[in-house]
C-alpha cells in the first residue's frame, strides 16, 4: 500500500493533467475542444477539486508548526516573484520519505517530507519552492493541460481509469499495474514538453530566492545532491522524473548563481527546528531507536539546541516524559521567546496531564503572535485538556479562517463544540470538515442534520444552505461530465 501511494504521489503531475477538466472522482472530459484556452478560473477550480481529493487520500502532514513554517517560507518567496501577485498560493507537506515536490493547478504546492529532510540549508529548500512557484506563475500547468488534450484518446482513457482504480483500492496492486502501463503511453510527450519549462522555472526561481534574501548557490548544491543520490537510488527520486535534471540545468544554475552579487545570508533557527520536528514525527519509535538516540546524547553528539530539541521530541513520542521534560525545561528557560520549545513542553504537559502549567505561557505567546496557527492549535488543545471547552470553542471560532489551510482544526472545533454543549453547531463543523476533504455526500448528510438542529438561527441556516448549494453545483458539474 505504501509503495502504491508513493507511486501515485510521484505521478502527481500526470494525475493533475488527467483531472484537467474533471472534478472529484470522475473521468476527464476527453472530448472537449483542444483549442479552448484554459482560464485562470478554470485552473483554480481544477486545483481546488484536486486538492480536495488529495486531502482525502494522501498522507498530508497535519502538524501546525510544520504547515505554518512552510506557508511563511512559501509566501516570502511569492512576494519576491513579481508575476505571482495576481495568483493564489497554498503550500502543504506530504508525509512521504521520497525526494519530491510538485505544483498543482491553482497554486497548490506540495513538498514531501523526504525532500525537506534532505536539504541542508533553508536556501536549498527555498530553491525548490522558488522553482515550483515559477511553474505556477508561468502557467506551465495550464499549458500542459492543453497539450494533454491533444494526446490520443485511448492513452488518456486508460490513464484516467488507472487513477480511479489506484485511488479507490489503495491496498490492491491492480491499479499499480494499469498505472504503469498508461504511464508509458503518455510520459514521453509530457517529459519532452517539460524540459523547456524546467529551464524557465529555474531561471525565475533563482531570481525569486535571491530577492527573498537566500543564497542562490544553494540551487547548485541541491542539484548536485540530487544527481549524486540518483545514481544509487533510482526509485526514490520522483522529483527527477517530473523535473528532469540535465547537465545543462546544473551548468546554467551555476552560471546564474555566479552572476548574482555575493552577500551574507542569515538563516533563522526555525528551519533546523522544523527539520528536527519532521524527523521526530516521521520516525517510528522503537526501543532500538531510543537507545541509539540516548547513546548519541550521552556522547554529547547533540551539539546544538536544535538537535537537543529533536532528541526531546523523540523522548516525548516514546513517552519518556521525565527525560524529555528535563531537556525542554532547559531549552525554554534559555530561549523564552522560542515558540517551538514552549509548544513541545505544552504537548508534554497535555500528555502527562499537567495542562495547567503551560496554559498561561501559551496564552501569553498567542497574545504576542496572534496569527500563529501552531499557537492557536496548542492553546485550544490545552483549553480542552484543562476542561475549558467553551473557551477552546471561542478561540477556534475567532480563528476559523485558518481552517482553510488546516482542515484538521475543524475536528478540534467540533470536539470543543460538543464538549461545551453546542450540539447544533457540531453538524455544521463536521460538514465543513468533510467538504474540505472531498467527501461530498458525507458533508451533505451533516448539513441536513445541521438544518434540522438550527431551526431558529436564520444566519446559521443561510450559511448551511450556501454550503449545500456549493455541493449541488459540484455534483451538477460532475453529472455533466458523465
Ligand atoms: Zn520543475
User: CA-to-CA distance for 21 and 46, rounded, in angstroms?
Assistant: 7
Angstrom CA distances, 285 to 1, 62, 202, 282, stand at: 21, 19, 38, 9
> Is 436 within the bounds of a domain?
no
Which helix (H) or strand (E) segment is 111 a member of? Answer: strand 108-112
Domain count, the chain: 1
User: CA-to-CA distance for 448 and 460, rounded, in angstroms?
Assistant: 12
> Is 185 within the bounds of a domain?
yes
Residue 240's pLDDT is 59
Residue 437's pLDDT is 82
The residue among 108 and 193 whose pLDDT is bigger is 108
Q: How far is the CA of 10 from the centre of ligand 1 (A)?
A: 13
Q: How far is the CA of 476 from the centre of ligand 1 (A)?
A: 34
The residue among 208 and 185 whose pLDDT is bigger is 208
Q: How far is the CA of 43 from the centre of ligand 1 (A)?
A: 18
> Is 107 within the bounds of a domain?
yes
> Is 267 within the bounds of a domain?
no
* 89-112 pLDDT tens trace: 999 998 888 777 888 878 999 998
- What's the whole-number mean pLDDT along residues 60-71? 93
Q: How far is the CA of 101 from the centre of ligand 1 (A)?
A: 9
* 363-391 pLDDT tens trace: 999 999 998 999 999 999 999 999 999 99
* pLDDT of 152 above 50: no
Q: How far is the CA of 264 from the centre of ligand 1 (A)?
A: 27
User: CA-to-CA distance for 148 and 156, rounded, in angstroms?
Assistant: 8
Q: How far is the CA of 109 from the centre of ligand 1 (A)?
A: 12
pLDDT band at 322 (very low <50, low <70, confident <90, very high): very high
CA 347 to chain centre: 22
> Is 309 within the bounds of a domain?
no
Residues serving a catalytic function are 132, 202
Instruction: Using a CB cutoff of 5 Å, list residues around ligand 1, an ion.
Output: 198, 201, 243
* 222-277 pLDDT tens trace: 988 877 766 655 444 455 556 666 677 888 889 999 999 888 888 889 999 999 99
> Is 367 within the bounds of a domain?
no
Q: pTM of the predicted model, to two decimals?
A: 0.80
Domain residues for the domain of 14 are 2-259
Angstrom CA distances, 272 to 68, 193, 447, stand at: 14, 36, 43
Q: How far is the CA of 242 from the centre of ligand 1 (A)?
A: 7
> Is 363 within the bounds of a domain?
no
> Is 56 within the bounds of a domain?
yes
Amino acid at each position: 500500500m505504501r509503495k502504491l501511494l508513493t507511486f501515485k504521489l510521484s505521478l502527481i503531475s500526470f494525475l493533475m493533467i488527467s483531472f484537467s477538466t474533471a472534478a472529484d472522482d470522475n473521468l476527464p472530459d476527453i472530448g472537449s475542444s483542444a483549442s479552448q484556452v484554459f482560464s485562470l478560473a478554470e485552473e483554480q477550480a481544477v486545483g481546488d477539486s484536486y486538492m480536495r481529493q488529495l486531502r482525502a487520500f494522501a498522507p498530508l502532514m497535519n502538524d501546525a508548526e510544520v504547515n505554518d513554517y512552510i506557508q511563511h517560507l512559501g509566501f516570502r518567496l511569492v512576494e519576491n516573484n513579481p508575476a505571482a501577485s495576481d495568483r493564489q498560493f497554498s503550500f502543504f507537506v506530504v508525509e512521504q520519505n521520497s525526494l519530491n515536490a510538485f505544483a498543482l493547478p491553482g497554486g497548490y504546492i506540495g513538498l514531501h517530507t523526504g525532500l525537506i529532510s534532505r536539504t541542508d540549508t533553508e536556501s536549498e529548500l527555498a530553491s525548490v519552492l522558488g522553482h515550483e512557484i515559477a511553474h505556477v506563475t508561468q502557467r506551465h500547468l495550464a499549458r500542459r493541460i492543453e497539450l494533454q488534450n491533444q494526446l490520443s484518446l485511448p492513452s488518456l482513457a486508460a490513464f484516467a481509469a488507472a487513477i480511479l482504480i489506484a485511488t479507490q483500492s489503495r491496498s490492491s496492486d491492480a491499479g499499480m499495474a494499469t498505472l504503469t502501463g498508461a504511464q508509458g503511453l503518455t510520459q514521453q510527450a509530457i517529459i519532452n514538453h517539460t524540459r523547456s519549462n524546467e529551464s524557465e522555472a529555474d531561471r525565475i526561481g533563482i531570481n525569486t530566492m535571491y530577492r527573498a534574501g537566500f543564497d542562490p548557490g544553494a540551487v547548485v548544491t541541491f542539484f548536485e545532491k540530487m544527481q549524486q543520490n540518483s545514481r544509487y537510488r533510482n526509485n526514490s527520486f520522483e522529483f527527477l522524473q517530473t523535473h528532469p535534471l540535465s547537465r545543462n540545468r546544473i551548468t546554467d544554475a551555476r552560471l546564474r548563481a555566479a552572476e548574482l552579487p555575493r552577500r551574507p545570508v542569515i538563516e533563522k533557527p526555525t528551519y533546523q527546528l522544523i527539520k528536527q520536528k519532521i524527523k521526530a514525527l516521521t520516525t517510528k519509535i522503537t526501543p532500538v531507536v531510543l537507545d541509539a538516540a540516548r547513546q548519541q546524547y550521552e556522547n554529547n553528539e547533540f551539539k546544538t539546541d536544535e538537535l537537543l530539541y529533536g532528541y526531546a521530541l523523540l523522548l516525548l513520542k516514546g513517552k519518556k516524559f521525565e527525560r524529555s521534560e528535563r531537556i525542554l525545561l532547559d531549552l525554554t528557560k534559555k530561549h523564552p521567546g522560542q515558540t517551538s520549545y514552549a509548544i513541545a513542553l505544552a504537548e508534554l504537559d497535555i500528555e502527562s496531564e499537567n495542562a495547567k502549567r503551560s496554559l498561561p505561557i501559551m496564552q501569553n505567546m498567542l497574545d504576542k503572535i496572534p496569527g500563529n496557527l501552531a499557537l492557536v492549535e496548542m492553546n485550544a488543545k490545552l483549553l480542552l485538556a484543562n476542561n475549558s471547552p467553551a473557551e477552546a470553542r471561542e478561540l477556534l471560532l475567532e480563528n476559523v479562517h485558518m481552517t482553510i489551510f488546516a482542515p484538521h482544526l475543524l475536528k478540534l472545533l467540533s470536539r470543543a463544540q460538543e464538549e461545551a454543549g453546542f450540539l447544533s453547531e457540531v453538524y455544521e463543523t463536521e460538514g465543513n470538515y468533510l467538504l474540505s476533504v472531498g467527501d461530498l455526500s458525507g458533508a451533505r448528510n451533516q448539513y441536513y442534520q445541521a438544518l434540522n438542529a438550527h431551526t431558529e438561527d436564520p444566519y446559521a441556516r443561510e450559511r448551511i444552505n450556501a454550503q449545500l448549494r456549493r455541493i449541488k453545483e459540484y455534483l451538477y458539474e460532475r453529472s455533466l461530465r458523465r
